Amino acid sequence: MKRLEQARKVPAPQELPPEVRPGQSIELLKELHILTRDGKLNQDSRRKLKQVYHLYNFIEPLLRDVKSEKGSVSLVDHGAGKSYLGFILYDLFVKAEGEGSHIYGIETREELVSKSLELAARLGFSGMSFLPLSVAESTTSSKLPETIDIVTALHACNTATDDAIDFALKKKAKHMVLVPCCQAEVASVLRKNKGKDIKRSALTEIWRHPIHTREFGSQITNVLRCLQLEAHGYQVTVTELVGWEHSMKNELIVATYKNLPRRRPSERLHEVLHEVGLEEMKSRFYTQAETTE
């Protein structure tokens, strides 16, 4: 009887939600507030976990591609925030694939950088670094290597996405994964030049009304980004980031360097800048030829 009572007091192994992947660090998921302290998922955290895993499915093949080619991977996550993505990538891929790979989180808010450093140390994630820098500052920082294999930038606002592209181009990244956020710079130039451009072409009717200026500015910004990447020899895929239902910024740009012909996309990029009155932004959306002039 006593043995039966003692057996009943032995705690049963914690049953994890079926959404959690095998081998995933439970402590990490709790620290990221994806799992509650008793290992449960609520509706909000279930959606958050689904979002992170969904993005991981896009990035894992890129990690494996670089790993098979070089034996290790370097990845920079711009606008890392609390570094959900970086920690998940490290936990599910780097941790299992051995030493040598490194993930860098770039974030301007020093309090978030400090918390990420503490968490990485506590979990023993020695191949993670966090730097309190802007995207532009990181391009010239001596704390980062001269080349980076993969660059990610999720919901990097306004020109931060363009700075991440500039960073990736200068670091000769093989892969980029971008989820652009709000884009105001191009719209502001369209708005400024609207008066003179409206006499030049009927196409300006596309962005004559203020709400259309904002929407068209956002759309054309991503078109120009894709042309710029193609003008540097990248193969570009644009799709919806299905699973991020809570966000209207749902465009996913994946670029892989293939050394493709550059002339046609370079010409198209300049044509688009000219047609919509954005020639003054040529230095923002530069081509490879312009970097060597």
Q: Where are the domains of the chain?
A: 22-179, 182-233+258-282
Q: How many helices (H) and strands (E) does the chain have?
A: 12, 7
**Three-state SS at 202:** helix
To the nearest whole percent, how much of the chain has pLDDT over 70? 88
pLDDT of 1 higher than 60:
no
Give the pLDDT of residue 51: 80
Q: What is the pLDDT of residues 78-91, one digit of tens each?
A: 999 989 899 999 99
Q: What is the largest CA-CA distance in the chain?
A: 94
Residue 41 has pLDDT above 70, yes or no: yes
pLDDT of residue 11: 39
HSE-CB of 86 using CA atoms within 13 angstroms: 32
Kindly indicate the confidence band of residue 47, based on its pLDDT and cuts at 50, 70 and 90: confident
Residue 139: half-sphere exposure toward Cβ, Cα within 13 Å: 14
Encode pLDDT of 102-138 as tens digits: 999 999 999 999 999 999 999 999 999 999 999 999 9
Q: Is the pLDDT of residue 249 over 70?
A: no
Q: What are the helix (H) ranges across the chain?
A: 2-9, 26-31, 43-70, 84-89, 95-97, 110-123, 135-139, 160-170, 185-200, 210-230, 263-275, 288-291
Q: How far is CA 272 from CA 141, 233, 268, in A?
A: 33, 19, 6
3-state secondary structure of 248: coil
Task: Point out the least confidently predicted range of 42-46, 66-70, 252-256, 272-276.
Answer: 42-46
Q: Residue 193 has what pLDDT? A: 82
Q: So what's the pLDDT on residue 160? A: 87
Residue 255: closest CA among 136, 156, 165: 165
Output phi, psi for 130, to 5 deg: -135, 130
Mean pLDDT of the chain: 87
Q: Determine what percent of the chain is predicted with pLDDT higher than 90.
A: 57
For 220, the token pair is 């054309």
Q: Write down the pLDDT at residue 242.
A: 63
The token pair that represents 54 in the structure block? 């969904």
What distance in Å separates the CA atoms of residue 5 and residue 191, rounded to the nearest whole number? Answer: 77
Tell me the average pLDDT across 47-63. Answer: 88
pLDDT value of position 198: 63
One-letter amino acid for residue 155 of the chain: H
pLDDT attached to residue 127: 95
pLDDT at 153 over 50: yes
- pLDDT for 248 equals 54
The span from the CA of 263 to the CA of 148, in Å, is 25
Q: Is this structure's pTM higher than 0.85?
A: yes
* Res. 207: pLDDT tops 90: no
> Domain 22-179 carries which CATH code?
3.40.50.150
**C-alpha 215: how far from chain center:** 22
Dihedral of CA 61/59/235/136: which sign? negative
